[in-house]
């Protein structure tokens, strides 16, 4: 496993659950690092119990249904207390999924510009298939009302493709021809941090 990907996977988990404690994150990480999570099918995972974390059962089943996660530990003795929480079995599954996603292939193209006003438009028929993320940094704030920005756009998709995009930079409109080539998902994340 790659340290950089693990850090990013934890970062995503913390963003999704900002109110969870450090110890919650640490327990999820222990479960993940010990390789206790196995994918059973698209919406079901089996998590091996760890006695050192207080588990009473050898395995727990985590399911994803109707937009939320359920764990078999909800049905145990502690069920009533735990039902309202997100247990660390679920957190370990989320870490596992974050990691797998970051480690997967995507097809991407990067556009770097420096402008005061900027906009990148993707043909509407590609919405849903193509995603655009950006990072923006101020490079010159001499004119406080109109600072200059350095903008990095990453256009990506789960499939290779060539597309036309419209780039607007300070009133200058350019038609771009973008070829999305294979890279890893975490590279996209690193580019727009």
User: Least distance from C-beta 103 to Zn ion, angstroms?
Assistant: 24
Distance CA(81)–CA(147), nearest Å, equals 52
Q: Give the interface size with Zn ion as a residue count (CB under 5 A).
A: 4
Residues 26-65: x where in contact with Zn ion by CB under 5 A, - otherwise, as a string: ----------------------------------------
Which positions from 87 through 146 interact with Zn ion, judged by CB under 5 A? 87, 89
89 vs 149, beta carbon nearer Zn ion: 89
Contact stretch for Zn ion (CB under 5 A) within 25-33, 49-57, 68-76, 94-102: 68-76
Which window, 71-79, 111-119, 126-134, 183-191, contacts Zn ion (CB under 5 A)?
Answer: 71-79
Region near Zn ion per CB under 5 A, out of 26-34, 85-93, 97-105, 122-130:
85-93
Residue 50 CA to residue 58 CA, distance in Å, equals 7
Examine residue 73 and tell whether it contacts Zn ion (CB under 5 A): yes
Q: How far apart are CA 139 and CA 115, in angstroms?
A: 9
Which residue, 24 or 99, is less far from Zn ion as judged by CB? 24
- Which is nearer to Zn ion, 71 or 180 (by Cβ)? 71
CB 89 within 8 A of CB 47: yes
Task: Return the beta strands (E) in the chain as ranges.
Answer: 37-41, 44-48, 59-65, 68-71, 105-115, 118-121, 130-140, 148-157, 161-169, 172-184
C-alpha angle with apex 27: 22 to 29, nearest 5 degrees?
Answer: 95
């Amino acid at each position: 496993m790659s340290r950089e990907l693990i850090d990013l996977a934890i970062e995503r988990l913390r963003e999704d659950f900002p109110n969870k404690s450090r110890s919650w994150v640490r327990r999820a990480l222990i479960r993940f690092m010990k390789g206790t999570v196995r994918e059973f099918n698209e919406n079901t995972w089996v998590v091996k119990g760890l006695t050192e974390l207080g588990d009473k059962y050898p395995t727990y089943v985590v399911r994803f249904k109707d937009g939320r996660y359920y764990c078999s530990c909800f049905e145990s003795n502690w069920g009533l207390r735990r039902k309202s929480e997100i247990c660390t079995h679920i957190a370990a599954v989320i870490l596992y999924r974050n990691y797998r996603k970051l480690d997967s292939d995507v097809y991407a193209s990067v556009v770097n510009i420096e402008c005061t006003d900027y906009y990148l438009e993707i043909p509407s028929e590609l919405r849903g298939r193509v995603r655009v993320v950006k990072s923006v940094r101020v490079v010159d704030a001499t004119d406080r009302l109109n600072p200059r920005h350095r903008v990095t756009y990453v256009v990506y998709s789960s499939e290779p493709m060539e597309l036309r995009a419209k780039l607007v930079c300070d009133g200058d409109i350019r038609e771009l021809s973008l070829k999305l080539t294979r890279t890893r998902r975490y590279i996209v994340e690193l580019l727009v941090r």
